[in-house]
Structure 1
């Protein structure tokens, strides 16, 4: 091809021409208003029935919940009694007061009889009377009254000294004889019993 040949014409539309537009799709014709109402009204009724069903189901649930019986609560109360409680028994405790301790008085110690004297004693009770004799182997003396205390001069040749007290039907008596610091005692109780106390002289001047 020679360079002087003109270029081939374009295959498209001619220069300056508007290309043809494609045809528009057919638009549906709008229906009448009454047709729209036929669609909207049934839809509204369906929604209304659904709402009523939900509400009725909620009410049924509330009614079922409220129809359940309430739990029964039993309260037990102690019956009050009008009777007054009996008073507690009175307990009296009696304590015996202890008497104050009495200090024992020291017994009077009798002065020992002189060595040259013999002492005879009789004491106690003898309601019916008592027969008393005292002395030595060589001398017997009648005594009387309770208590009785008598003295005699000690004889070197006396073999013994004694005192007797015989009850006359009852009583209780004691008797004693004392020679050179030695003492013998006796006791008698009831009936006609005899209280007897005696000291005998020994070979060496002692008394027993």
Structure 2
């Protein structure tokens, strides 16, 4: 048998010729972008952020609006002393007071110690003042600063005593208690999570 040799196929116009019956090489289509996934995750993130802010606001609001106080041993409640009863009756008039005023109070027994009388500081995050304890009581008022982050009062005993303290803003009151040694009575009211005292 005589095999005939065919000359190699010539490429036309400088490139190889395509043989018939073979599919041309086609590149795969480009992948679609993940814009839908990104938008979906972004929306989920925003919703999660709002839920987190709401939860923090609820917790902070609950803590700042509680009227109970804790004694030195951390248990809720307090004993009914003469000064305490006087504070409860005057608390009603404080609630009826103008909402544009902050009321600071300290009451109880606090004899002067080696370092002098009871040390009282009151005010806001940007304005601190000193107070004087006379006849078993201290009371002061300041105009409500809407931009303040918090209002507080602290009273440090000078060796002995049993005192209570409170801060009232617009009908909301926060109380504290301290007894003996150089312990500090502290009460603080904070603005809401988004600010504001209304």
| Higher relative contact order, chain-length normalized (CA < 8 Å, sep 6+) | 2
Give the TM-score, by structure 2 length: 0.48
Give the TM-score, by structure 1 length: 0.46
**When you count helix as a share of all residues, which structure comes out higher?**
2
